Amino acid sequence: MTERREVPFFRPAIGDEEIAEVVDSLRNGWITTGQKTRQFESDFADFIGGGVEALAVNSATAGLHLALEAIGIGPGDEVIVPDYTFTASAEVIRYLGAKPVFADMEFATLNIDPASLPALITPNTKAIMVVHFAGLPVRMTEIMAFARKHNLRVIEDAAHALPAKHDNRMIGALDTDASIFSFYANKTITTGEGGMIVTRDAEIAKRCRVMRLHGIDRDAFDRFNTNSRGWEYDVVAPGYKYNMSDIAGSIGLQQLKKADALHARRTHLASLYDQYLAQAPLVLPAHAAEGQVHSWHLYIIRLNEQALLGRDELMAGLDERRIKCSVHYTPLHRLSYWRDTYNLRNEDFPNAEKSFANCVSLPLFPTMQDDDVRYVADQILNLLSINSSPSA
């Protein structure tokens, strides 16, 4: 291998449009939550469709917290959550003094296994949180049937799932209580830090709107743009400080306009990986089923039994070749707080154990070039001692 190039794991796709919109906010004198954020919310609701409301917040974690609060989760309640997710999905359950109950994943999809639910339900179970892992929609028809049967609320951690579809409907427009998207730096669209709560339930929207800003009955933009009694407000609950600034909202406004183009690019790059890695001793990512759309937030490969190399050796080899990869994620049962607080044992999560030991997230971002994918795939094949991939 004579070629030496560098492939980062991720690089946000920020263009002149985002920069100009931020500069406009900085110059126009309104930098906290205002018209830019409102425009972003309304464009986002239109993008999802189905008559949803969209509420911008300063992170998806904040949004998940608010959504669980709005559906009334509190001490004594149990919420079923995937074990194979980022810690934010479960920590928000603890914020409210409720108990997370961890479900193992389905090996093929990396998503929560609907078949694991009956064994986890108790008289205290109030809700299920699902995560559309890597952007592949969960089998929501089964989840919703189970939830209806047991009278459970359903919250979607949709941090990876913009844009994605289930049953030909956008994630965000399903019959769940709320879907929460993330605009963290490496998500499919970004505001630096930020998130969006999407719901079709007017009561949930109302509660989240008040609780994201101190429990105040109206926001600063409303107050300062009405009349001389703009200084006046009421506090109806001890709320949080979770509003999105207009600086972040400006970035989001422009990113959203590109969401479909960025998604098309990711989908193309993922199909190149599929093609180049088809012969390797790997489990390639599951594809979306009929009627579904995968957002391709992450492209996760797993070494299979035929691979002569371990996960860590493969990652070290790629790192030496200046290709940056990652692991999504260490399952929660292996992290000390969750393991020790809930006595979680590795053997209770066999699919997560098998996936975690063998998984690598490959570089995937919209400005990545086709020949970057080729290069990454060739290095993987080389490390796994397979001749270079067939020509495209």
Ligand X SMILES: *Cc1c(COP(=O)(O)O)cnc(C)c1O
Q: Which residues bind ligand X (CB under 6 A)?
A: 59-61, 85-86, 88-89, 131, 157, 159-160, 182, 184, 195
The smaller minimum CB distance to ligand X, of residues 247 and 277, is found at 247
The smaller minimum CB distance to ligand X, of residues 159 and 380, is found at 159
- Which burial class, exposed, middle or buried, applies to 375 when counting CB atoms under 10 A from its CB (0-12, 13-18, 19+)? buried
Are 198 and 53 a contacting pair, CB within 8 Å?
A: yes
Which pair of tokens denotes residue 3?
């070629």
Are 61 and 195 a contacting pair, CB within 8 Å?
A: yes
Among candidate residues 187, 206, 241, 257, the one labeled active-site is 187
Residue 118 preceded by cis peptide, ω within 30: no
Question: Residue 390 CB, nearest distance to ligand X (Å)?
Answer: 34
Question: Residue 186 CB, nearest distance to ligand X (Å)?
Answer: 8
Q: Which amino acid is at 311?
A: R
The smaller minimum CB distance to ligand X, of residues 174 and 244, is found at 244
Question: Residue 183 CB, nearest distance to ligand X (Å)?
Answer: 6
187 is catalytic: yes
Question: Residue 15 CB, nearest distance to ligand X (Å)?
Answer: 21
Are 153 and 167 a contacting pair, CB within 8 Å?
A: no
The smaller minimum CB distance to ligand X, of residues 59 and 361, is found at 59
Residue found by looking up tokens 């559906």 in the block: 71
Which pair of tokens denotes residue 145?
């049937």
Question: Residue 85 CB, nearest distance to ligand X (Å)?
Answer: 5
The smaller minimum CB distance to ligand X, of residues 195 and 239, is found at 195
Which pair of tokens denotes residue 334?
């292996």
Residues constituting the chain: 392
Question: Residue 283 CB, nearest distance to ligand X (Å)?
Answer: 21
Give CA–CA dist 251/15, Å, rounded.
10
Which pair of tokens denotes residue 127?
């809700």
The smaller minimum CB distance to ligand X, of residues 86 and 296, is found at 86
Contacts of 356 (CB under 8 A, 6+ apart): 84, 327, 330, 331, 334
Question: In sequence order, which ranges of the chain are alpha helices (DSSP H)?
Answer: 16-28, 35-48, 60-70, 87-95, 140-149, 202-211, 220-224, 246-257, 259-276, 311-320, 336-342, 350-358, 370-383
Which pair of tokens denotes residue 167?
């049953």
Residue 277: strand, helix, or coil: coil
The smaller minimum CB distance to ligand X, of residues 61 and 111, is found at 61
Question: Residue 131 CB, nearest distance to ligand X (Å)?
Answer: 5
Residues annotated as part of the active site: 187
